Amino acid sequence: MTTAADVIRAAAGANAPTPRLGLVLGSGLGGLADAVQDATAIPYAELPGFPVGSVAGHAGRLVLGTLAGTPVVVLQGRAHLYEGIPVSDLAVPVRTVRALGAESIVLTNAAGSLRADVGPGRLMALTDHINMMGVNPLTGINNDTIGPRFVGLGDAYDLPLKRALKAAAVAEGVDLSEGVYLAVGGPSFETPAEIRAFKVLGADAVGMSTVPEVIVARHCGLRVVAVSAITNLAEGLGDEVLTHEHTLASAATASADLQRVLTRFVKDYV
Ligand code: HPA
C-alpha cells in the first residue's frame, strides 16, 4: 500500500534532506509555509489517508523543504473534528511527519484566552492540556509498531523545546505567555457558563484542535511544542462577537509575531 510518506518522498526526490521538524500551521497562521525554500508542495487530497478540511483560512497542503537552514515538513492547514472527520483520521498527518524522519513537531492554533491579561494578538506557549473533546485519537486497535497501547502524557509538552521557543521569543522581542489549553469539539463557540467552568478547571486558552495531534505525536515518539495565537477573549470575558471571520482577522495580527518566533526557533533548533 502506498503511504503518504511514500508519495512525499517520491515527489521530493532522493536528494531531499530528511526533515528534522514538523510544523502544523493553524487557522490564519499558514504564511510561514511561503518562507520554505526548495519547497515541494503537495495538496492533502493527493496524500493517501490525509483528511481534507474545508475551513476557510486553511490551505490544506504539505510543504517539504528548508526553513532558516533546517529541513522541515510544514502542514499548512489541518482538518478538525467538527468537520465530521473521524478522530482517528487526524492521526495520519502527524504519523506522516514521524514517518518522514522528523523527531519533533511544532503545533500552532488560534485560540480564545481565559486570561484577561493575555488578549487578542498575543502568543501563548502550551504547558499542558485538558481534553474536553470527548474522544481520543488512539481509540481502537493499537498498532504496536507505531507506539504503545497506553501513552503517558505527564511530559507531553517538551520542556527543553518550550524553553527554546521562549528564547526565540525573547530574541525577537515578542511577549510569549504560557498556559493550559483546553480543547472542545466545536464548531459552536463556548457559552459564558462553559468558560466560567473551564476557568475553574484550570484552562488558560480554549480551542478546537491540537489535542488529538499532541496525543498522536506522543504515541509515535515525537517531541511536542505548541503555541496558541490568541484571537479573542473567551466568551463572556470580552465584548467582541465571536465569529470565524474575527478569528482569522485576529490570527493575522498574531501571525507576524508567530512567524518571526518560529523562524528563529527553527533556525536555532539543535
Ligand atoms: N473558542 C474556541 N475556539 C477558538 C476560539 C474560542 O474562543 N477562538 C479561536 N478559536
Tell me whether residue 228 is one of the annotated catalytic residues.
Answer: no
207: which strand partners? 183
- pLDDT, residue 153, reads 98
pLDDT tens-digit profile of 63-109?
Answer: 999 999 999 999 999 999 999 999 999 999 999 999 999 999 999 99
Choice among 142, 244, 246, 249 that is catalytic? 244
Q: How far is the CA of 205 from the centre of ligand 1 (A)?
A: 8
Ligand 1 site, residue 124, Cβ cutoff 6 A: no
Question: Which residue's alpha carbon is nearest to atom 10 within ligand 1?
Answer: 111
Ligand 1 site, residue 121, Cβ cutoff 6 A: no
H-run or E-run covering 65? strand 61-67
C-alpha cell of residue 142: 493499537
Choice among 12, 33, 44, 58 that is catalytic? 58
Choice among 11, 46, 83, 197 that is catalytic? 83
Kindly report the number of other CB atoms within 10 A of residue 191's CB atom. Answer: 11
Tell me whether residue 178 is one of the annotated catalytic residues.
Answer: no
Q: What angle do CA 119, 228, 203 make, to 5 degrees?
A: 75
DSSP the chain: ---HHHHHHHHH-TTSPPPSEEEEE-TT-GGGGGG-EEEEEEEGGGSTT------TT---EEEEEEETTEEEEEEES---GGGT--GGGGHHHHHHHHHTT-SEEEEEEEEEES-TTS-TT-EEEEEEEEE-SS--TT-SS--TTT--SS---TT-B-HHHHHHHHHHHHHTT--EEEEEEEE---SSPPPHHHHHHHHHHT-SEEESSSHHHHHHHHHTT-EEEEEEEEEEEPTTTSSPPP-HHHHHHHHHHHHHHHHHHHHHHHHT--
pLDDT tens-digit profile of 234-246?
Answer: 999 988 888 888 8
Tell me whether residue 124 is one of the annotated catalytic residues.
Answer: no
* Distance in Å from the first CA to the final CA of the chain: 34
- pLDDT, residue 56, reads 67
Which atom of ligand 1 lies at the shortest distance from residue 247's CA?
9
Ligand 1 site, residue 32, Cβ cutoff 6 A: no
Question: What is the pairing mode between strands 104-113 and 37-43?
Answer: unpaired
Yes or no: say if 222 and 104 are a contact pair by the CB < 8 Å rule.
Answer: yes
pLDDT tens-digit profile of 241-269?
Answer: 888 888 888 888 789 999 999 999 999 99
- pLDDT, residue 151, reads 98
Tell me whether residue 219 is one of the annotated catalytic residues.
Answer: no
Tell me whether residue 209 is one of the annotated catalytic residues.
Answer: yes
Q: How far is the CA of 235 from the centre of ligand 1 (A)?
A: 9
The model's pTM is 0.96
Which atom of ligand 1 lies at the shortest distance from residue 232's CA?
8
Confidence tier at 230 by pLDDT (50, 70, 90): very high
pLDDT tens-digit profile of 187-225?
Answer: 999 999 999 999 999 999 999 999 999 999 999 999 999
How far apart CA 88 and CA 150 sit, in angstroms, is 16
How far apart CA 49 and CA 47 sit, in angstroms, is 6
Tell me whether residue 113 is one of the annotated catalytic residues.
Answer: no
44 pLDDT higher than 70: yes
